[in-house]
A and B are shown apart, each in its own frame.
Chain A
Amino acid sequence: MGSGFLLRRIGYGLLLMLGVVVLNFLLIRLAPGDPAVVIAGEMGGATEEMLASIREEYGLNEPLLVQLGIYIGNVLRGDLGESFFFNQPVAHLIALRIGPTILLVVTAQLLSIFLGVLLGVLAARRPNGVMSAFVSVFATIGYAVPVFWTGIMLIILFASVLPVFPVEGMTSVRLRDAAWYVQWLDVAHHLVLPAFTLAIIYLAQYARLSRASMLEVLGSDYIRTARAKGARERTVLFRHALRNAALPILTVAGLQFGNLISGALLVETVFNWPGMGRLAFDSILRRDYPTIMGVLFFASAMVVIANILTDWSYRLADPRLRGRT
């Protein structure tokens, strides 16, 4: 596995990010509405002179391509601009919120892959058994139900019926001065419901996918070889079959990562999770263009990184891919 592969992928990733920046910028400028009016509105009333000075100050008088050039130049220097609404640097706003989002998204992804694959493997053991039927029904429900509905149902369940998990926020105020590990446990406790809500759609998909993939692999000649060696059924399933069945699961997991991030926006809103999703939601409502573009920039960076990691994990899983570029 040469480092050439990784470098090339990172190079493509950076090009892709540049494309994303350009597209984001143009799309947002194409949307109706005048940012100067919005900014002026936040300041409380807009005279014509005020609008003109705002346009001057924010460079909105320049031709679009010049604005784009300036924006790209700024991004390359790490300057994502200043939020119209919060009056703070966008990079600072995102830095405060990207941690909770990554925590939520990565936890949900790992949870859905782990539980989904486990269910799928158990179902594949007996394709006509009870577990298999359960996975099929569960997958259909999990896939059909919208994430905000699951979230609200879980909130109702855990807020009133079974109050064992917090339904709101990421930390408890009363634990602000507790030891670090108590605070960590507190965050983990708060993480349970949002992560599970976000995971449930993908969990169902992975369960179905791994069931199908495992069934195909279990019919192959090398599985018969493993059995003929005298390997236990568990070894056959988890050592010989699963690694071969993992490729389609990895593919889908990589593709779904983008959807997971947009799903996080809803989940963060429902559970008041202090992540980028909330920031995106607030800034879209307020036409806070620099913040929207900053959030989109980081969201696409996460997707690009996830895809690079997916490609790389393919090669770990399947030696046949290692010789290629």
Chain B
Amino acid sequence: MSLLEIDQLKVTFDTRYGQVTALDSVSLAMDAGETLAVVGESGCGKSITALSVMGLIPQPPGKIAGGAIRLAGEDLTRASEARLRAMRGAEVAMIFQEPMTSLNPVFTVGDQIAEAILLHQDVPRDRAWKDAVALLERVGIPAAAARAQDYPHQLSGGMRQRVMIAMAVSCRPRVLIADEPTTALDVTVQAQIFDLLNEIQRDFGAAILLITHDMGAVSEMADRVAVMYAGRVIETGTADSVLDAPQHPYTRGLIGCIPSLDTAGDGLAEIPGVVPPLHLLGAGCAFAERCLHVRDTCRDTKPRLTEKAGHHVACFGAQEGWL
């Protein structure tokens, strides 16, 4: 049994175009101490997957229409609100994309970390504060005792993301969800945050669900990777296998988009087109309209994940070898 198991999860949203399926038969699994990267463009369902695990899908308009999310065997989609509250922050914690806006501007950062501790642990207030300072020190914030008294606006973006990480690991969660944790940060700071996440994982043994659109981050962090497109997982396997031998044309495109020094001057590679709006998805492969290798089958039938080259891919071309 895996630590976290997302099994055939289906999430729908009511929109003015009618009901759309934001996640369709998404299955992911991760073990303790492992890092799983979920990759894809904006709107592919990465963040919805993360929010589903946290039980934070706004309902309505959102709805978990099928499947299960099992944390150590317990199905969170059937859990009570009280149980979810006890789970959030304690067993599964989350780091968000925007450190600038994810901290409450009117409380000191020490207060906000201490609050997370007090919500889940039966400790006195001064003890929680001391723990908060120790956590700030642990995530590499100099003069932690003084910084704990600071308000978010007094800290840089990188420092705020460190604060978010300190808050997220304050109760030693078993699963840490990091939703594009470095998108809003400088490149040099990004590397520091990845290093910190790796260290934290070593120390705390948490499984990390890393949500990103950055293939560089994947190679830096991930043990395994799942590529998502328009609400479905289209390719998944170990990070090495997927990065070295990507099978799906979309995954190849994503990897091709990483600029390197060798390609300097050739212009940036891109995947033509955009992710189709979810309410316009047809019966076939969602990537068909953007795919250079598209055939009639692709437009009529949805490909399923099958094994190919040591990992799983949902693409007729890859499966049948005509890509």
- A residues bordering B, Cβ < 8 Å? 220-222, 224-232, 240, 243-244, 317-320
Q: Are B103 and A229 in contact (CB under 8 A)?
A: no
Distance in angstroms between the alpha carbons of A226 and B103 in the assembled complex: 9
Closest residue on chain B to residue A227 by CB atoms: B56
B242 interface residue, CB < 8 Å from A? no
- B residues bordering A, Cβ < 8 Å? 54, 56, 85-90, 93-94, 96, 98, 101-106, 108, 115-116, 119-120, 151, 153, 164, 167
CB distance from B14 to the nearest CB of A (A): 13
Distance in angstroms between the alpha carbons of A240 and B105 in the assembled complex: 9
Give which listed residue, A221, A228, A231, A317, contacts B54 with CB less than 8 A: A228
Q: Are B96 and A317 in contact (CB under 8 A)?
A: no
Distance in angstroms between the alpha carbons of A319 and B149 in the assembled complex: 11
Distance in angstroms between the alpha carbons of A224 and B116 in the assembled complex: 13
Give which listed residue, B88, B98, B105, B108, contacts A229 with CB less than 8 A: B88
Q: Are B88 and A228 in contact (CB under 8 A)?
A: yes
Asked, given contacts A228-B93, A228-B94, A319-B153, whether A222 binds B105 with beta carbons under 8 Å apart, the answer is yes
Distance in angstroms between the alpha carbons of A317 and B106 in the assembled complex: 7
Give which listed residue, A225, A243, A318, A319, contacts B102 with CB less than 8 A: A225
Q: Write out the residue numbers on chain B whose beta carbons fall within 8 Å of the beta carbon of A244.
A: 104-106
Q: List 16 A-B contacts (CB under 8 A).
A: A222-B101, A225-B96, A225-B164, A228-B89, A228-B93, A228-B96, A229-B88, A229-B115, A230-B85, A230-B90, A230-B116, A230-B119, A232-B85, A244-B104, A319-B106, A320-B153
Q: Are B102 and A231 in contact (CB under 8 A)?
A: no
Give which listed residue, B85, B86, B96, B104, contacts A240 with CB less than 8 A: B104
Distance in angstroms between the alpha carbons of A244 and B152 in the assembled complex: 14
Closest residue on chain B to residue A240 by CB atoms: B104
Distance in angstroms between the alpha carbons of A290 and B101 in the assembled complex: 55
CB distance from B114 to the nearest CB of A (A): 11
Closest residue on chain A to residue B108 by CB atoms: A319
Distance in angstroms between the alpha carbons of A231 and B106 in the assembled complex: 17
Distance in angstroms between the alpha carbons of A318 and B152 in the assembled complex: 12
Distance in angstroms between the alpha carbons of A224 and B93 in the assembled complex: 12
Q: Write out the residue numbers on chain A whose beta carbons fall within 8 Å of the beta carbon of B119.
A: 229-231
Q: Write out the residue numbers on chain A whose beta carbons fall within 8 Å of the beta carbon of B103.
A: 222, 225
Q: Are B88 and A243 in contact (CB under 8 A)?
A: no
